[in-house]
Amino acid sequence: MAQVTVEDVEAAGLADWRLLGSGLHARFAADGMTAGAAFVGAVVAAAEEADHHPEVTLRMTSVDLSLVSHDVRRVTGRDLRLARTVSDLAAEHGLTAQPQLLAEVELGLDTADLPAQGPVWAALLTGEAANVDGDDVRDPRGRSPLLWFQHTDAHETPRQRFHLDVWVPHDLAEQRIAAAVAAGASVVDTGAAPSFTVLADPEGNRVCVCTALGRG
């Protein structure tokens, strides 16, 4: 099953949804937790019927959902189909999508020694040193952000090794970057845009604003 792209999501007419780093995401505003819970109940029933299940977070005035095909660890056509069903249910329940509020944070760590570093950070973030998956530390309970390792040559400290990846909807990246620049950030590198743009804070700490656009 091929990886779904931003263009596939747009072609499917899924205006409520955006591709971010970990999958296909949507947020719906709800008029209180009771309304949100009723919507979640309908989503659960649809997911059971489809035998394909989203991650769902119910808050006081919103419901967050994310979709990914866990067996292949990427977004596929199954996710697009369920996303359409979820959007239809949201409309039936009177919930409004808020794609402008979507964002996701990942941690990136430069390392020249992944075998030594990986288990340490897996133990710190997840409680289990074994939760290293390739170049990533993944929390099976979803409580910690994804930590991924960027391979680098050995180097002397000090040097920035950690950086944040802030995933935003592709159609809101320029707005987010402009807001950061207006607040005092500077743009360091646009060579990989729109996939990612490197910014720096006033003290030089770097952060990548990432989108799913331009990724295979």
Q: pLDDT digits over 133-169, tens only? A: 999 999 988 888 889 998 888 877 666 778 889 999 9
Provide the pLDDT for residue 124. Answer: 83
Peptide bond into 140 cis (omega under 30): no
Residues of the chain within CATH 3.10.180.10 domain(s) are 104-210
3-state secondary structure of 40: helix
Per-residue pLDDT, 158: 60
Task: Provide the residue type at 66 as one letter.
Answer: S
For residue 89, what pLDDT is reported? 98
Please tell me the pTM assigned to this model.
Answer: 0.85
197 within 8 A of 177, measured Cβ to Cβ:
yes
Specify the pLDDT at position 157.
63
Give the closest residue to 5 by CA, choosing from 188, 168, 215, 211: 215
Instruction: Give every residue of the chain whose pLDDT is below 50, as ranges.
Output: none
Q: What is the CATH number of domain 6-101?
A: 3.30.1360.20
Residues of the chain with CATH 3.30.1360.20: 6-101
Q: Give every CB contact of residue 57 below 8 A, 6+ residues apart in sequence.
A: 63, 64, 65
What would the pLDDT profile of 89-112 be if each residue is shown by its tens digit?
999 999 999 999 999 999 998 888
pLDDT value at residue 165: 93
Give one DSSP letter per residue of 136-181, joined into a string. EE--TTS-S--EEEEE----PSSS--EEEEEE--GGGHHHHHHHHH
pLDDT at 159: 67
134: left (phi over 0), alpha (psi -120 to 50) or beta: left
Q: For residue 58, what is the enclosing H or E element?
A: strand 55-58
Nearest-angstrom CA–CA distance, 213 and 9 = 11
Give CATH superfamily name and number for 104-210: 2,3-Dihydroxybiphenyl 1,2-Dioxygenase, domain 1 (3.10.180.10)
